[in-house]
């Protein structure tokens, strides 16, 4: 029962830092290795298998804004703590890929072994590397739709020539890490986003926040004639049907106020239809709403609905 830990996204110019933490338990998964040595298709298949078979797993996210504010070293420690907090099964050893103990300032620090190339040698660390990379790459691909022209779906935020050319042409985005030296000279703001783009960004940020709180995202933007479910998430055996409400400023009445009795009935019907379509009868379920505001979107309230 080894808790394996690895990070993804230390060096990019844009996007979040993500730490993966996995306890595999008794299940063995063939083909685990450093995520960078796997094809995208193979990583995706292993990510699904890890989430199904692992005794426990967690993802710790730190946004680019948080990283700029506290610095890379503190961001690595914070993301690691956030990932480990989601582990809900016993383990007897912690192995972190690399040479730095990101838990040294916590009560778990004395149980940590650091090991260079652990993602090649220790299956649970390999698994942590894979789920972290798949989660981050998926998120950055979504940002490519929100910020067209930057190529986030290709370079996932790393400092490529195409990325630099896009910044020169379009300016920076809220995803960019302005504390990184190559970006300090880029002050031109990105063009204003449409309402549709803002809504999509809010939903992506909401999904990122849910992941950081230990939820697993099952579905995004599930559409039926009766309506749409923004996010279906799962935690501790309960399915959460989440409506994302975004307001660009706090003076617009708040997103929670938009959950009228009519809207609540529509959410209930959509959840019922989802359960029927996916044959999930008998599961524990909960309606919820996330209120977001400002730019970039930030969670201001997470409310469970009756």
CATH code matching the domain that covers 2-141, chosen among 3.40.50.2300, 3.30.420.10, 1.20.58.220, 3.40.50.300: 3.30.420.10
What CA–CA distance (Å, rounded) separates 171 from 306?
44
Cα atoms found within 13 Å of the Cα of residue 139, Cβ hemisphere only: 31
Backbone angles phi, psi at 268, to 5 degrees: -65, -45
pLDDT at 252: 45
Range list of H helices, the chain: 40-53, 64-70, 72-84, 118-121, 123-146, 152-155, 161-170, 195-212, 261-278
Round to whole Å and give the CA distance between 82 and 206: 16
Instruction: Transcribe 124-144 into DSSP letters.
Output: HHHHHHHHHHHHHHHHHHHHH
- The CA R_g of the chain, rounded to the nearest whole Å, is 20
Residues 6 or more apart from 138 whose CB is under 8 A from it? Answer: none
Contacts of residue 172, defined as CB under 8 A and 6 or more positions apart, other chains included, come to 178, 183, 186, 187, 188, 189, 190
| Length of the chain as a residue count | 306
Report the C-alpha gap between 177 and 223 in whole angstroms: 34
Question: What are the CA-CA distances from residue 128 to residues 6, 20, 28 (Å)?
Answer: 6, 4, 14
What string of pLDDT tens digits covers the 306 residues of the chain? 899 999 999 999 999 999 999 999 887 899 999 999 999 999 999 999 999 999 999 999 999 989 998 999 999 999 999 999 999 999 999 999 999 999 999 999 999 999 999 999 999 999 999 999 999 999 999 999 899 999 999 999 999 999 999 998 898 998 999 999 888 777 455 566 677 777 888 888 888 889 888 889 999 988 887 678 999 999 988 999 999 988 765 444 455 666 788 888 888 898 989 988 888 877 889 999 998 887 677 788 888 886
Torsion of Cα atoms, 129 then 131 then 133 then 136, to 10°: -140
Cα–Cα distance, 194 to 296 (Å, whole number): 13
The pLDDT value recorded for residue 49 is 94
pTM, rounded to two decimals: 0.68
What stretches of 147-260 show up as alpha helix (H) in DSSP? 152-155, 161-170, 195-212
What are the residue ranges spanned by the domains of the chain?
2-141, 195-305
Q: What SS3 state is found at 241?
A: strand
CA angle 199, 259, 306 (to 5 degrees): 125
CATH class of 195-305: alpha beta
Q: Checking phi first, is residue 250 left (phi over 0); if not, alpha (psi -120 to 50) or beta?
A: alpha
Q: Which helix (H) or strand (E) holds 217?
A: strand 216-224
Whole-angstrom distance, CA of residue 299 vs CA of residue 293 = 7
Quick check: 232 and 285 in contact, CB under 8 A?
A: no
User: What's residue 251's pLDDT?
Assistant: 47
Q: Contact 274/178 with Cβ under 8 angstroms?
A: no
């Amino acid at each position: 029962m080894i808790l394996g830990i690895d990070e993804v996204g230390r060096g990019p110019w844009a996007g979040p830092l993500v730490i993966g933490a996995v306890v595999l338990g008794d299940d063995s998964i063939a083909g685990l290795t450093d995520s960078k040595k796997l094809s995208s298709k193979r990583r995706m298949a292993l990510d699904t298998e890890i989430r199904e078979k692992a005794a426990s797993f967690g993802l710790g996210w730190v946004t680019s804004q948080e990283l700029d504010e506290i610095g890379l070293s503190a961001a690595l420690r914070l993301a690691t703590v956030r990932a480990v907090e989601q582990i809900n099964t016993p383990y007897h050893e912690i192995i972190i890929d690399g040479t730095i103990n990101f838990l040294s300032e916590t009560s778990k620090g004395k149980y940590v072994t650091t090991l260079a190339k652990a993602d090649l040698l220790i299956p649970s660390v390999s698994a942590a590397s894979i789920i972290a990379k798949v989660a981050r790459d998926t998120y950055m691909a979504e940002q490519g739709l929100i910020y067209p022209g930057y190529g986030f779906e290709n370079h996932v935020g790393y400092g490529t020539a195409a990325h630099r050319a896009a910044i020169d042409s379009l300016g920076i985005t809220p995803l960019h890490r302005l504390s990184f030296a190559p970006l300090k000279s880029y002050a031109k703001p990105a063009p204003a986003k449409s309402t549709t783009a803002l809504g999509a960004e809010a939903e992506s940020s909401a999904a990122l926040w849910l992941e950081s709180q230990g939820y697993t995202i099952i579905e995004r933007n599930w559409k039926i004639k009766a309506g749409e479910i923004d996010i279906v998430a799962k935690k501790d055996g309960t399915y959460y049907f989440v409506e994302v409400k975004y307001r660009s400023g706090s003076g617009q009445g708040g997103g929670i106020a938009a959950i009228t009795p009519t809207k609540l009935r529509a959410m209930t019907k959509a959840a019922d239809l989802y359960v029927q379509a996916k044959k999930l009868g008998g599961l524990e379920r909960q309606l919820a709403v996330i209120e977001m505001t400002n730019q970039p979107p930030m969670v201001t309230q997470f409310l469970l609905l009756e």
